[in-house]
Each structure stands twice: as C-alpha cells, then as structure tokens.
Amino acid sequence: MPGYPFRRPVAAVATLAALLPLAACSQASDAEQGGPTTITLSMQNPDVKTADPATWAIVEAFESANPDVDVEVSGQPVAEHLQSLSIAAQSDTLPDVFWVYKSNAEEMLAGDRLLDLQPILEEQGVIDSLPATTVEYFTSDGTVFGVPYQGLLTGLWTNTQVLSDHGLSTPTTFDELLQVAETLADEDVVTISNGASQSAFSVWQFLVWLDRFGFEEKMDGLLDGSESWENPDFVRMYEHIAELRDAGAFSSNVSTQTYQQAVDQFLQGEAAFLDAGVWAAGAIQDSEVAPDTTFWKGPTFSDGVGEQNIIMNVASAPLVVAKKVGEDEAKLDAVERFLGFYYSDEAQQLMVDNGQPPVTTYEPELDEKEQSVLKSALDAAREEGVSTPGTQPDLVFPVAVSNAIYDSIYGVIQDQLTPEEAAALVQRALDAE
C-alpha cells in the first residue's frame, strides 16, 4: 500500500532520531576509491523489501545489470520520512534519490535543493515513454523536478459471488449502489469494506467521488483561495456518503478496523466491495475470492459535476533527486542509469509482476490465470471511453489539508460529522495554510 500517510506527526525528539538514516545516506557517497559508486534511495516504507516488492525487484535487477553501482535503500513511515527530509533539506543533506509528496518537492525546488531531471530523462530516452500529463504534473517553472514512483489505480474490488448470492449484480450508478447496500444490510453483509483506525487515508473511492463532483475544475481556486471547499457540489457529495452510511453500507466496526483488517474482511468473503487499489491485487490473487473478484471504477452520479466515466489511474507522489548529486560526476552517472533503468520496459514489467501498473506507456505481459485480479484492474483502466483525472485530489495539498480530507470523509462515514461540518473541516485546514 505505497504512498499514503500516517495521520499524525511524530514528536520532535522522534523526528531528530529519524534523521539518522538520512544522515547515514548522505555520508554513503564517500565510497572507497576504486569501489562501486553508492547512491542512496530513501523511501516511505520502513521495510521496502517486504512492503514494496516492486521497487525492491527493480533495485536488485539494476544492481545485477550495473555491478559498479550500489543502491543503498532505506525507509521510514511516511510522517517521519517527510519530517526527516524537511530538516535534511535545510542542511543540504538530502538522500540522492527519494520519495516525497509533490507539495514538499515544490518547496525543495523553490529552495534550490532539487536537480532538474529533464536532461537526464531526455538522455535516457525516458521522457517520451511517460504520459505527457505526468511530465506536466511534475514540472514547475520549466523544471522537471520529479518522476512517477508508481501508479495510483484505485477503485472498488468487487466480489461478484457475494452479489449474486443475494440476487444482485455490479451496479453502475450511485442509486444502484444504494439499493445494493440496502439489500445487503438486511442480510447483515458489509457492502464496502473500509478501515479508519490508523489508516484514515484509506478512502480512495471517495477521492474519486470528489472528481465526479468537479474537483478538477475547482482545484486551482481551492489552491489560491478563490474557491471554497464548502461549495454545494462537495456538500452534496458528502450527503451521498451519508446516504450510504444510513443504508448500512459500512462495517459496524469501521472506526476501530484498520485498512489491513478491511482487506481481510474482503478476502474472507464478508464484504461485497473493498476500497483499495492495485496494491491489493496480490493478496486477493492468493485468496479464495480471486476467481470471483473484478475491479469496478465506482458509481456515476446523476447530480454529479462534469465527466462521470472516470477512473483514478494517475501518477503517485514523485521520486526526486537532490541537486548536490549533480556535483559528483560518478554519482550523477549512476543516478542517470538508475532512472533510465527504472523506466525501462524491463523494470516496468517487474512492476507488473509485483502487482503494480506500469507508469510509462509500456504494454505489459500478463498471465491471464495467475494475474487475473490485476488484469481486471488494468482492463478497467483501458476500457473504451474511460478517462482519468490529472491527479488524486489529496496529493495536491500539504499534509495537514490531506489529513483533513481523510478525516472529513471518515467523519461522515462514522456519523461524527454532518456533510456541512465535513466540508467546513477541510476549509479550516485550507485557511490555515
């Protein structure tokens, strides 16, 4: 489940302690003369090998093909990672390559701490293989400051057997989803499996809903303060979440259930839908519900705003490169080769083999039997007529605002906030920024 934040910042002492891995990374460039060149890769997972097998596989394959380069991988939970990076940026001790939120990256770029990647991407032939919208999204004032770490392809994993057992089929509209929820609630079956405990970020389906209520058109105004989150369209979206809640769509323990427990609930056949993304494909594939699982982009809304036939299939937070890398010829060469490999067809296939969609225009090879779950998600993304937004709504804001968005959605799901209060919560966070 890459790329999603813990909700609360860590204490200052913990933050200073968390700097140690980054400090070690900054010293690792002093490789012994004649030995391999070391580049540091700092990620948002404390155990990259286990939690992010796609990245780990790419690193191993790169090192195998480039024995003169050693990629030193480290990681921390998101909140600690971001705070460590913020302090490291101030002292110019950033890792060589690292994962970071777009908003944080733009702050580092303004502070002259990031390398312009356009020459590297052109030299390595990468830029033409990335979607133009992705390159544009990670460009500021003519500088390409980042490249997509992984893709965010999210939706509702659907257990068609649970639906058919109750005389139901996969809905297409919100009204149909509401009817499904009412029917399943009468049978004590969870409609959508979510978990708020320690995982308030796990509201991906409802972030897509924001786009179906005009987020893209409102985004610039929300960022510059000319538009309010308390607009009637967003309030109406929250009202639909409340309708689902009142229909009994969510688990009674949604407030104490974690994301992983929500996944387990779906894997055990106890829910019709799971709110997640492609990162859950592997676990589903290995479970008994795999033969009955398909991927659904979520409901359309008759009272929505703008395009409804959309799927969230966008670039996640970026990988960026510290500007100081450009001052070390050997290190710069190693980073150039690493990025060239990361976005090669070989590495993109490794992503797919480890349950992630490619972030380039590469057409992957899929085993229809062994990767049927992932294939259903990729097929949904390629469905004729479907479009994608430019980004996931929470990724364009500072962490405090993103957290407020998550809290607003779960606040309505748990009947702790009215739709109007939910919208006001996010607006207060925007005002504070």
Around 309, how many Cα atoms within 13 Å sit in the side-chain half-sphere?
7
Q: What is the pLDDT of residue 30?
A: 45
pLDDT average, residue stretch 394-405: 91
- Give the model confidence (pLDDT) of 117-139 as tens digits: 999 999 999 999 998 888 998 99
Residues 341 and 304 in one domain: no
pLDDT average, residue stretch 7-24: 42
Closest CA to 191 of 261, 245, 253: 245
Residue 413 has pLDDT above 50, yes or no: yes
Structure tokens at 107: 């702050």
Residue 5 has pLDDT above 50, yes or no: no
Residues 241 and 380 in one domain: yes
Structure tokens at 186: 């009468």
Model confidence at 140, pLDDT cuts 50, 70, 90, reads: very high
Q: Domain limits at 400?
A: 152-313+373-432
Which runs of E-coded beta strand occur in 260-393?
271-277, 293-296, 312-315, 318-321
pLDDT average, residue stretch 177-193: 98
Residues 299 and 162 in one domain: yes
Residue 37 contacts residue 331 (beta carbons within 8 Å): yes
Q: What is the pLDDT of residue 2?
A: 42
CATH number of the domain that 234 lies in?
A: 3.40.190.10
Structure tokens at 241: 């979440």
Q: CA 207 → CA 97, 170, 402, distances in Å?
A: 28, 20, 11
The fraction of the chain above a pLDDT of 90, given in percent, is: 80
Q: What is the mean pLDDT of the chain?
A: 91
Domain boundary among 343, 365, 387: 365
Residue 165 has pLDDT above 50, yes or no: yes
Around 293, how many Cα atoms within 13 Å sit in the side-chain half-sphere?
34
**What's the total number of domains in the chain?**
2
Residue 13 has pLDDT above 70, yes or no: no
Residue type, 193: S
In a domain, 159, yes or no: yes
d(CA 154, CA 35): 43
Residues 120 and 211 in one domain: no
Instruction: Show Cβ contacts of residue 195 under 8 Å, excluding neighbours closer than 6 positions.
Output: 202, 254, 257, 258, 259, 260, 261, 262
Residues 410 and 423 in one domain: yes
Of 202-211, 215-224, 383-392, 413-422, the range with the lowest mean pLDDT is 383-392
Q: What is the pLDDT of residue 33?
A: 58
Residue 368 CB burial class (10 angstroms; 0-12, 13-18, ≥19): exposed
Model confidence at 103, pLDDT cuts 50, 70, 90, reads: confident
pLDDT average, residue stretch 92-114: 95
Residues 283 and 404 in one domain: yes
- Give the model confidence (pLDDT) of 306-330 as tens digits: 999 999 999 888 999 999 999 999 9
Closest CA to 313 of 128, 159, 117, 133: 133
CA-based torsion, 274, 409, 46, 96: positive or negative: positive
Residue 362 contacts residue 345 (beta carbons within 8 Å): yes
Residue 7 has pLDDT above 70, yes or no: no
Model confidence at 22, pLDDT cuts 50, 70, 90, reads: low
Beta bridge partners, 247, equal none
Residue 28 has pLDDT above 90, yes or no: no
Beta pairing, strands 318-321 & 147-148? antiparallel
Q: What is the pLDDT of residue 50?
A: 87
Residues 232 and 246 in one domain: yes
Residue 26 has pLDDT above 50, yes or no: no
pTM of the model: 0.83
Q: Which residue has the tokens 């303004």?
A: 110
Model confidence at 368, pLDDT cuts 50, 70, 90, reads: confident
d(CA 69, CA 226): 49
Residues 279 and 407 in one domain: yes
Residue 21 has pLDDT above 70, yes or no: no
